[in-house]
Amino acid sequence: MGNSKHLGLYLLAPAGIFVILFFLAPVILTGIFGFTNMSTATGITGGSYMVSESSMRPLRSHFGEEALADQLMQRVYTIDEAGLQAAAEAGGDAAAIRELEARFLGQSFDRRRDVEVAIKSLNARPSSTRAIKLISAEFERSVVNTRFDTPEEMLAAIAGFGIVLNNAQTEALVDVAYTGWTFTTQNFKTMLELPDTKKTLINTLFYVFATLILFNTGFALVLSISTHYMPSRPAGFFRSIWLLPRVTPPVLYVLMWKWLAWDTGFLSVILEPLGFAPRNWMLDTPANAWTFIILINGIVGASMGMLIFSSAIKAIPPALFHASEVDGATRRQQIWHIILPQLRWPILFITIYQTLSLLTSFEYILLATDGGPGGATEVWALSTYLKALSNYGGALQYGYGAALSLVLVVIGISVSLIYLKLFDFKNLTAPPKIE
């Protein structure tokens, strides 16, 4: 008997594991990644240390070490054994190389021209400039673009060039030279700075609320209320029709819309005789793109609200309708004073649920316009997907993408809280004082 207490826990364990693996873990990882600069460049494992054009940029701008950066980026030209051998292998003139070794071994030059002047001064100087350049190239020495596994190796190499660093400089250099990912709040600063962010945010809010108000709640209410006043057979028929888009595979569904809108599609064909030039009606203008996006999402999205609202209306005792009729309520007054107040809870539920799903779902936009024309229909979730997981250049910004997702989560939660406040949730769920 004592074990039966824990039986429930054992039974729930698989569900618990799934929740942790597929829900909690991604959420937590997204939260963590949002505060990193992970990208294809940094990789998701550790990195190495390297002085490069890009790592010097923060050294100059952030640490103000202009001189040091110049120094590190500087190349020196040293006539050494390794260089001589490399020059020979590269096909440099053998006599010239031998003379160079004899006369200049161990000498350093700051500029390549100086090396070339030295080569030209040789008795066995090569005849062409190309041959001279071929040899001179092999003596270039610098830390630039060399990968070091540890900071110590990099610092040793730098010391080898006679560059002396103080403690602050060492720290700054190790910091900027690291090529792996690091924790940073830079993503959020970037987000605030980029003008795209504001546009995407406005797009998202417009998309979510227009679809929600026009279709997912509004049209769903219209459907469920109008079918409520119909005889049951036609009512059932209408409701089934509006369920069809929901059960159509999204790719096919969007494809049908594309056929409708293509420049050789249905719309173009029927509008051409009326004097409208054939065009891709969906991507023609931002307004058109939005119209299609909202229709595509709304017609699928209205069905869920319709089902929920219809069953909620069915659950209203018929006596309330009878009572309101004899009290003198017209149909419109009945809708306003009886049906809608009774639907407060389902409307709240659908509004929150659909807001969250519209905020996060972008598959129809991706399939229909892919954010176009010119980013006009790029919403937050789509932008996140493009930044983090799908980019033509192949440079994926995981950290930035995660940060964007994180903001989406915050937006979702805030909007839900606002709804609960608006709908007076506390009063909705307050237990009655007498049963």
Partner 1 sequence: MRILLDKFTKNFGDLTVIDEMDLEVHDGEMVALLGGSGCGKSTTLFAICGIHKVNGGRILFGDRDVTNITSQERNVGVVFQSFALYPHMDVAHNIGFPLKLRKETSTEIQRKVDEIAEMVHIGPLLKRRPGELSGGQQQRVALARALIRRPDVLLLDEPLANLDATLRLEMRSEIRRIQRETGITAVLVTHDQVEAMSMCDRIAIMDAGKILQITEPSDMYNNPVSDYVAGFLGSPPISFLTGIIQNGSFIEPATGAKIPVRKAIAGSHAGREVRVGIRPEYYQPDKGVMIKGTVSMIEAQGRETLYVVTLPDGNILRSIQGSHSPVKIGDAVNWGIDAEHMLVFDKDGLLI
Where along the sequence are the contacts to partner 1 (CB under 8 A)?
A: 317, 319-320, 322-330, 333, 337-338, 341-342, 344, 432-434
CB of 220 to partner 1, least distance (A): 20
**Residue with the two structure tokens 């979730």:** 381
CB of 320 to partner 1, least distance (A): 5
Tokens representing 331 are: 């149909």
Helical (H) or strand (E) element with 154:
helix 151-160
The residue among 337 and 421 lying less far from partner 1, judged by its C-beta, is 337
Count CA atoms within 13 Å of residue 319 on its CB side: 1
**Residue with the two structure tokens 């640490």:** 63
C-alpha dihedral over 65, 67, 71, 72, to 10 degrees? 10
Whole-angstrom Cα distance, residue 297 to residue 293? 6
The residue among 235 and 295 lying less far from partner 1, judged by its C-beta, is 235
CB of 348 to partner 1, least distance (A): 14
Single-letter code of the amino acid located at 73: M
The residue among 211 and 334 lying less far from partner 1, judged by its C-beta, is 334
Helical (H) or strand (E) element with 109:
strand 108-109
Helical (H) or strand (E) element with 140:
strand 140-141
The residue among 52 and 324 lying less far from partner 1, judged by its C-beta, is 324
Whole-angstrom Cα distance, residue 68 to residue 173? 9
Nearest partner of 44 among 388, 354, 333, 423, judged by Cα: 388
Q: Do the strands 76-78 and 140-141 form a parallel or antiparallel pair, or are they unpaired?
A: antiparallel
The residue among 271 and 329 lying less far from partner 1, judged by its C-beta, is 329
Whole-angstrom Cα distance, residue 297 to residue 285? 18
In this structure, the number of other CB atoms found within 10 A of the CB of residue 6 comes to: 9
CB of 344 to partner 1, least distance (A): 8
**Residue with the two structure tokens 């270039």:** 140
The residue among 190 and 324 lying less far from partner 1, judged by its C-beta, is 324
The residue among 84 and 312 lying less far from partner 1, judged by its C-beta, is 312
Tokens representing 31 are: 């939260």
C-alpha dihedral over 417, 422, 425, 427, to 10 degrees? 150
- What's the DSSP call for residue 22? I
The residue among 99 and 325 lying less far from partner 1, judged by its C-beta, is 325
225 Cβ contact partners less than 8 Å away, ≥ 6 residues apart:
309, 313, 335, 339
Residue pair 407/205 in contact by the 8 Å Cβ criterion? no
CB of 323 to partner 1, least distance (A): 4
CB of 425 to partner 1, least distance (A): 15
CB of 346 to partner 1, least distance (A): 13
CB of 306 to partner 1, least distance (A): 22
For residue 391, give the 3-state DSSP assignment: coil
Which whole-number Å values give the CA distances from 179 to 211, 318, 395, in the listed order? Answer: 44, 70, 15
The residue among 243 and 316 lying less far from partner 1, judged by its C-beta, is 316
The residue among 173 and 347 lying less far from partner 1, judged by its C-beta, is 347
CB of 338 to partner 1, least distance (A): 7
The residue among 426 and 433 lying less far from partner 1, judged by its C-beta, is 433
For residue 76, give the 3-state DSSP assignment: strand
CB of 333 to partner 1, least distance (A): 6
172 Cβ contact partners less than 8 Å away, ≥ 6 residues apart:
59, 63, 65
Whole-angstrom Cα distance, residue 128 to residue 105? 23
CB of 435 to partner 1, least distance (A): 8
